Amino acid sequence: MNKLITAPGRLARRMLPFRRRPRAGAELPFFAVPADAISVLPDPAAFRQELLRLIAQASRRIVIVTLYLQDDDGGREVLDALYAAKARQPALQVSVFVDWHRAQRGLIGKQKSEGNAGMYREYTARLGPGVDIYGVPVQNRELFGVLHLKGFVIDDAVLYSGASLNDVYLVRHGRYRLDRYHLLQHGGLADAMAGFVKQHFIGSDAVQRLNVAEVPSTKSLQPAIREFRQELQRLSYEVPQATLASGEVAVTPLLGFGRSDNTLNEVLLDLLRGTRERLIVLTPYFNLPRQVRVLLGQLLRRGCRIDIMVGDKSANDFYIPPGQPFKTIGLLRYLYENNLRRFVRAHRRQVDSGQLNLHLWRDGDNSYHLKGLFIDDDVAVLTGNNLNPRAWSLDLENGLVLRDPAHLLRAKHEAEWAALRRHATRLADYRALESPRRYPAEVRKLLRRLNRVRLDRLVNRLL
């Protein structure tokens, strides 16, 4: 009955054009960062080179926050650099924060092991103390949420990327996983991001060192993890009320955690609502939260042009090459492709007219991991948020909102977008995607089983 009563109002809100409103995010506090202190790095090789350069030159602090620091050549190269920097500068504070669960398991599909934490302990035993590596348990189990904060703070520099640290992200052996890479030189922003993790992570009983001989069990930490999770939902970065001068860009770091009162989610939705003419969405997995899908539909009805770039099925990091044994995790890329097919079919009129452009990225056997937004010519969002239901409600996320009313960064953003499109193809029609009838037999069988019991929706939310 209530739904019937409210139906006319809900229908009107969907059909009527947006009310004109002030530019979204205008009330956010911010750091005033000179535009020439913000750089866009072109590729994974430049990211690796800049990260190692910053570590080698560090004099006061190195605070690295990432999903994982892998036990492979890329991860060891970074650890070697951290220990070398500490040896050169004994007073240097070096802290690394990784996801607690991800650090203590082997790779999916591989034999059971002590995970990356074994490498951390081996380095400490061989080279001694000085590099503190912490595991951050956002949830009791990895399936229900991980540490997905991003940002490498080295002295007064913030190197921000959605990339983790391993061979493929650091393009160590030919193959790469493409992300976005931005360098912001600003002491206040660096202090806020480093200060947050030092104050709230190191100060929590749930966050424990991983490169020590005795590591507590997850079970013993469950009360502390519960308390930590409740605290995270109340936290935010400390950001001043600054004034924007000529030549400066407003940069706001935001935190996001939980289904409700999630500041990052709320600001992203507000920014999307405020789009005037043009929106570019970057996401590695086409699995948009419902609120985002609804807003995209409203923007299209309003006449905005939307470009969405996503990785081709073969550029997904869950891709299993032909000839290798099929694993259930490989089903995900087919689920994402089905999501994309439904979206394109639902908006085929806008696709045909060029108002909606879906770009599929593919470059050989490399993979795609881009996230973020470009809104009109004056707002950009740098984030590790995958713009999927898991990021929206389970993982601990962050992002940087860049507001640029004077269009000082427009040339850099246009160059970044042009470079990304070099390996992308516009999807002209949903029929250009592989038909589900041509999927491998194991995939067709699993998809039928999931669809029969509606488990595909649950999988989309969790993975």
Give one word for 250, left, alpha or beta, with left for phi > 0 and alpha for psi -120 to 50.
beta
Catalytic residue at 397? yes
Tell me if 184 sits within 8 A of 157, measured CB to CB. yes
| The residue type at 368 | Y
Distance CA 120, CA 130 (A): 12
Sheet containing strand 131-136, strands side by side: 38-40, 181-185, 157-161, 151-154, 61-65, 93-99, 131-136, 208-209
Report the distance separating Cα 213 and Cα 216, nearest Å. Answer: 10
Strand partners of residue 94: 62, 131
Question: Which listed residue (179, 312, 376, 404) is catalytic?
Answer: 179
Catalytic residue among 101, 347, 359, 369: 369
> Does residue 98 contact residue 135 with C-beta atoms inside 8 Å?
yes
Q: What are phi and psi of 128, to 5 degrees?
A: 90, 180
Give residues with Cβ within 8 angstroms of 335, minimum separation 6: 287, 447, 450, 456, 459, 460
Q: 101, 148, 182, 413: which one is catalytic? A: 148
Distance in angstroms (rounded) separating the CA atoms of residues 21 and 229: 35
416 is a catalytic site residue: no
Residues 373 and 339: their CA atoms lie apart, in Å, by 20
How many residues can be counted in the chain?
Answer: 463
The dihedral built from the CA positions of residue 267, 32, 67 and 386, taken in this order, carries a sign that is positive
| Distance from C-alpha of 118 to C-alpha of 108, rounded to nearest angstrom | 17
Sign of CA dihedral 172, 176, 177, 182: positive
d(CA 151, CA 149): 7
Cα–Cα distance between 340 and 285 in angstroms, integer? 9
**Catalytic pick among 71, 99, 378, 397:** 397
SS3 189: helix
Q: What is d(CA 228, CA 410) in angstroms, rounded to the nearest whole number?
A: 40
C-alpha Rg value of the chain to the nearest Å:
22
> Of 272, 304, 303, whose CA–CA distance to 289 is shortest?
272
* Catalytic positions, written as ranges: 148, 179, 369, 397
